[in-house]
Amino acid sequence: MHINITKSATGNNKGSSSQLVAYLEKENMMAEQLNKNYQPEYWFNHERHDIHPYEVRLGIDNNVAKLSKDDAKFFLINVSPSEKEILFLKTKYGEEDAKAHLITYTNQVMDAYAKNFKRDGVNGNQDLVYFGKLENNRYYTYKDLEFRKGQAKKGDIKPGEQMHVQIIVSRKDASNSIKLSPLNNSRGTNKSHSQKVGQFDRVAFKQATESLFDNMFGYNREVKESFNYANALKHGSYEQKEEVREPQRAEQVMKFGYKQGYHGKGVLETLLDNSGNINIAPTSDDSRWKKKKKKKPGQDQSRGPSR
């Protein structure tokens, strides 16, 4: 599960949300051009699943009390399951119900988002102003390698399972009185700053959303899929990297340790002889296993070549 928080992928988040809302309607507009009977993907939040774009724009743009022109007015959160996670949902619930479950999960993600600020008066998603939009596809842009190589055109649909959710969330809470910034790096060390914008721990948030997915859907996550594993490999010390690799090594032993080896024996059985001693194959420098050279005609092995 990949959760990403940005100022805005498209449009300036210090002004109106109209440009971003219009951009996130692209899939509906493209589908409607191809099929007039197409049922659009509506916006949603914890209260409704039939929200129209103009309601999103008004909800975000009218919730900006006491924000200056240089303040961020909203943020964009991207909830992107891996292809394996998407296939898991579709296999378990079917195509349409998988969408509904991803929407339910997203609302729970925003509940965890609110609680992560640790602010009085912000206790759950009901205390936020946010709107989510499910998208079924991703599209090539000029930044993609396939586009630069001429293998795909801008706007072409990318292959594979690409279902994800984009969320626009207001900088202010639902009461329009508390500033909330998920890009704040404070974790409580600067108390006065934390009181103004809250303590948002992005690592803890991503860990919580991953556990939420696993618990909600009964997903058995491998170590190498986890946020802790990826985060440690990217940012951790040598000791931290080794710590997260150890469970993966254990997984490999559980997965392949009893794989059938030579003569129908398991790997461990192959390494152990009947006495319980480790049976190691000879090395190339073991004299017992070196092939004897054939004696050439007229050559005495004990005295060297005949003259």
Sequence-distant (≥ 6) Cβ neighbours of residue 245 within 8 angstroms: none
What pLDDT, on the 0 to 100 scale, is given for residue 278?
A: 47
Q: What is the DSSP string of 229-278?
A: HHHHHHH--HHHHHHHHHHHHHHHHHHHTT-B-GGG-BHHHHHB-TTS-B
Q: Look over the chain and give the mean of its residue pLDDT values, rounded to a whole number.
A: 81
What pLDDT, on the 0 to 100 scale, is given for residue 12?
A: 81
Exposure pattern of 12-25 as b/e (b: 16+ CB <10 Å)?
ebbebbbebbeebb
* Contact call for residues 171 and 78 (beta carbons, < 8 A): no
What pLDDT, on the 0 to 100 scale, is given for residue 8?
A: 64
Residue 224 gets which letter from DSSP?
G
Over residues 39-51, the mean pLDDT reads 94
Question: In Å, how far from its chain's centre is CA 7?
Answer: 19
Share of the chain above pLDDT 70, in %: 70
Look at 170 and 305; give whichever has higher pLDDT: 170
pLDDT confidence of 251, banded at 50, 70, 90? low
Asked whether the predicted pLDDT for residue 237 surpasses 90, the reply is no
What pLDDT, on the 0 to 100 scale, is given for residue 37?
A: 74
What pLDDT, on the 0 to 100 scale, is given for residue 216?
A: 97
What pLDDT, on the 0 to 100 scale, is given for residue 259?
A: 43
Write down the pTM of the prediction.
Answer: 0.74
pLDDT digits (tens, 9 = 90+) for 259-300: 444 344 444 444 444 444 544 455 445 554 455 555 555 555
What pLDDT, on the 0 to 100 scale, is given for residue 59?
A: 98
Nearest to 73 by CA among 176, 165, 166: 176
Asked whether the predicted pLDDT for residue 125 surpasses 50, the reply is yes
What pLDDT, on the 0 to 100 scale, is given for residue 286?
A: 52
Range among 169-178, 194-203, 229-238, 249-258 rated most confident = 169-178
pLDDT digits (tens, 9 = 90+) for 219-228: 999 988 888 7
Query: Hey, CA dihedral for 240, 210, 80, 223, is it positive or negative?
Result: positive
pLDDT confidence of 61, banded at 50, 70, 90? very high
What pLDDT, on the 0 to 100 scale, is given for residue 306?
A: 47
pLDDT confidence of 231, banded at 50, 70, 90? confident
What pLDDT, on the 0 to 100 scale, is given for residue 245?
A: 64
Range among 154-158, 182-186, 233-237, 250-254 rated most confident = 154-158
Asked whether the predicted pLDDT for residue 90 surpasses 50, the reply is yes
Asked whether the predicted pLDDT for residue 32 surpasses 70, the reply is yes
pLDDT confidence of 307, banded at 50, 70, 90? very low
Look at 72 and 303; give whichever has higher pLDDT: 72
What pLDDT, on the 0 to 100 scale, is given for residue 128?
A: 98
